[in-house]
Amino acid sequence: MPRYFTKIRGKIFKEYLEKGEKIKYILRQHPAILGGKLAKNIALFIVFPLLLIISFPITAPVAGVLLLWGLWRTLIESMNWYGRAWIITDLGVVCISSTLFFRVRSTRIEYQVIGGVSYDIRGFMRTIFNYGDIYVSKMGSGDPVIPMQNAYKPQEAESMILRCQRELIQKQYRDEHKELKKILVRLVDAAPA
C-alpha cells in the first residue's frame, strides 16, 4: 500500500490508537454491501428525480429535493461503511462502529485476552465474493465478543490477528527473558565470592 494511504489512515484512526501503536490491517465489510445500498439510493433518489425533471419539468422542485436527499443518503451510507471497521494493530483489535457523526462505539480487545478467532462463510455468493462473518472471543468465554458481519476476506483477517497475537507474545517473552537475565546478573555480581 502506498505510504500516503498509510499516513491518511493513521491520521483518521489516530484517536482510537494508543501512543506508539501501529496499524497492521483494517477489516471492513465487503464493498458489495456498500454497493447494494448505493445502487438503491442512486436509482431511487438520483436517477429517478433526473428522469422526472427531464420528462416533466414542472416537477423540478420536488425532484430537486429528492435529488438532494439522494446525494445526502449516498454520502451518509459511504461514511457509515467507512466508519465500521476493525483496526488490527500490534497491541490488539479495535472494533469501531459509527453511525453518522453522532454515534461512535469503540471496543478494544487486547491480544492477551483473545481466546479464539473464527469465521463463517455460508452460501454461494459469499464463497464466490470471499466475504463472511468473523468473530473474536475472549479467553475463558465461548461467546463472541466482537462480531463483524459480511467482512471482506475473513480468512486474511483471522490469520493477521493470530500472527499479531503470536508476535506480541513472543516479544513479551523476549522482554521478560532479558529482564530475568539482568536480575540474575545483578544477583551473581552481588553474591559474596
Q: What is the pLDDT of residues 97-118, one digit of tens each?
A: 877 667 888 888 888 888 888 8
Q: Is the pLDDT of residue 173 over 60?
A: yes
* Residue range(s) defining the domain that contains residue 128: 3-161
pLDDT of 3: 56
Residue 186 lies in a domain: no
Q: What is the pLDDT of residues 23-58, one digit of tens each?
A: 888 888 888 888 888 888 888 888 888 888 888 888
* Entry pTM: 0.76
SS3 content of the chain, % helix, strand, coil (to 5): 60, 25, 15
Residue 177 lies in a domain: no
Residue 25 lies in a domain: yes
Strand partners, 27: 86
Total domains in the fold of the chain: 1
State the average pLDDT over residues 149-172. 91
Residue 178 lies in a domain: no
